[in-house]
Amino acid sequence: MLRRPLILGCAIWLGATVVLRVAGDRIMPTTPAAIVISFTASLAAMAWLARHVCRRLEIAPADWPVATIALAAPTLLLDPFSSAFFPVVFPNIRPDAAGAFGGWMLSCVAGALCGATIGRPNRSEG
């Protein structure tokens, strides 16, 4: 059951990392307003994504939290290194954006976990 969300999480992490490495200077929020908007929008988007993935993979609602942990695991395990070595991983983004990047990733994971746990359908709706 965890294999498919974990593989999908790896693919999402890799794709997002490549996009940020290539176009991060145009995507990474750097002003306070852009950071708040990005964090909020990402939290909502990831909540929707986690629910969508669980439904699409036909995961029982009781298993959504565990599946979402698998989905988010690549971000939780790999982005601390992206943050620690930010100028190497993302040479086209200002080094002082590392904190905003770390917060953005936490916002994404928080959104996914909230989406998988808050307002889950019961077994008869799943």
Domain membership of residue 54 (yes or no) is yes
Q: How far is CA 63 from CA 9, 54, 111, 125, 126, in A?
A: 16, 9, 17, 14, 11
Domain membership of residue 126 (yes or no) is no
What's the pLDDT band for 1 if we cut at 50, 70, 90? low
Total number of domains in the chain: 1
Q: Taking the model in full, what pTM does it have?
A: 0.89
Domain membership of residue 76 (yes or no) is yes
Domain membership of residue 122 (yes or no) is no
Q: Write out pLDDT tens, residues 71-120.
A: 999 999 999 999 999 999 999 999 999 999 999 999 999 999 999 999 86
Domain membership of residue 83 (yes or no) is yes
pLDDT given for residue 119 in this prediction: 81
Domain membership of residue 44 (yes or no) is yes
Mean pLDDT of the chain: 94
pLDDT given for residue 111 in this prediction: 98
Average pLDDT over residues 57-63: 94
Helix locations, the chain, DSSP H: 3-27, 32-56, 64-84, 86-89, 98-117
Domain membership of residue 28 (yes or no) is no
pLDDT given for residue 123 in this prediction: 55
Domain membership of residue 124 (yes or no) is no
Asked whether the predicted pLDDT for residue 126 surpasses 70, the reply is: no
Q: Write out pLDDT tens, residues 10-57.
A: 999 999 999 999 999 999 999 999 999 999 999 999 999 999 999 999
Containing domain of residue 99, as a range? 3-19+33-117
